[in-house]
Amino acid sequence: MAALPHRYPMLLVDRVERLVIDRSITAIKAVSINEGFFQGHFPGRPIMPGVLIVEALAQAAGVLAVESLGLADSGKLVYFMAIDGAKFRTPVEPGCLLQLDVEFVQKRSSVCKFAGRASVDGKLAAEASFTAMIADPPA
């Protein structure tokens, strides 16, 4: 929580399992039936929305960027700029532990590119490449 500004209900990273500065991160999202989006997505067949899986990957990337670039307590935020090649392979359901694996593809002081993969029990659920910008929060 120290690395991200997100809070409930938008905080989608529950635990960092492994962080290799300047390289990669493995984080976990515990997917619970109590999450508000399951009420409408879908009644009788709850599935985590793909856009939120990509958001969880982006938040893991945000932790990686903040820690690697020494931005903790700087007030800087990590903003999405682009999402490329997002693919969804299998549904993510309540009760799953969603593993978020993200690595740097390119790292600069203000723009970073990442590759992310989300999996459940070793099975690929989603993948995407994305770009983020490090900037000051809006005034």
pLDDT digits (tens, 9 = 90+) for 56-83: 999 999 999 999 999 888 888 899 999 9
Q: Which of 5, 6, 19, 41 is catalytic?
A: 41
pLDDT digits (tens, 9 = 90+) for 79-127: 999 999 999 999 999 999 999 999 999 998 899 999 999 999 999 999 9
Buried/exposed code over 8-20 (b: 16+ C-beta within 10 A; e: otherwise): eeeebbeebeebe
What lies within 8 Å, CB to CB, of 93 at 6+ separation is: 31, 46, 47, 48
Instruction: Please give the model's pTM, rounded to 2 decimal places.
Output: 0.95
41 is catalytic: yes
